[in-house]
Amino acid sequence: MQALTNKAQAVNRKPMTLLERLYLINIIKGMLITFSHMFKKQPTIRYPEQKREFSPVFRGLHVLNRDEEGRERCTACGLCAVACPAEAITMEAAERVEGEEQLYREEKYAAKYEINMLRCIFCGLCEDACPKDAIYLSETFAPANYTRKGFIYGKSDLLIPNPLTEASAFAEAKGVEA
Ligand code: SF4
Ligand code: SF4
């Protein structure tokens, strides 16, 4: 039969010698390869004891930002949700009432704000779309969890600590020295 390509190779069906049947040479070869790796630099790190340094452009877990007076910046305009290609963001808006001026910067705020981290692809488009500098992607990542529900991050998980009442936690979240 005519071959379609010249890739076919004849199989060597010669019976194996006693030495070949013992596989000794191949076992020694394999062990030498394993042994040689013991003296090479380890490419793996012992996470979580050791942590890899992230690139300056790394996009990690989202943070809902506050202004310098500790007020929530988000005005629940929904632009981040519209920009999100993964439809990972949902929110509910509420009107600020009298006496809440020190809590919310704008007249409208997000009473509920959720991001589904299982859907998120960490593209950063929500951060780009936000006109209020209210959301940014930090240098941390979502830790592992046993349930899918644990990956739905609510406002309490996302909101940055108040710089007035929790200055060191705020500085830590921002990644700067207190
Ligand atoms: S980082 Fe991208 S995928 Fe994730 S919530 Fe923001 S816009 Fe959506
Ligand atoms: S995070 Fe920004 S874009 Fe998203 S709802 Fe709040 S203010 Fe609008």
pLDDT tens per residue, range 27-50: 999 999 999 999 998 888 888 898
- Greatest pairwise CA separation for the chain in angstroms: 92
Unique residue bearing structure tokens 């010669």: 14
Give me the CATH code for the 62-174 domain, please.
Answer: 3.30.70.3270
Task: Write down the domain spans for the chain.
Answer: 62-174
pLDDT tens per residue, range 138-172: 988 778 899 999 999 999 999 999 999 998 988 88
Q: Which atom of ligand 1 is nearest to the CA of 80?
A: 7
pLDDT tens per residue, range 86-141: 999 999 999 999 999 999 999 999 999 999 999 999 999 999 999 999 999 998 87
List residues near ligand 2 (CB under 6 A).
Answer: 74-80, 91, 110, 129-130, 132, 134-135
CA distance 44 to 138: 24
81 CA → ligand 2 middle, Å: 8
Is this model's pTM higher than 0.85 or not? Answer: no
89 CA → ligand 1 middle, Å: 8
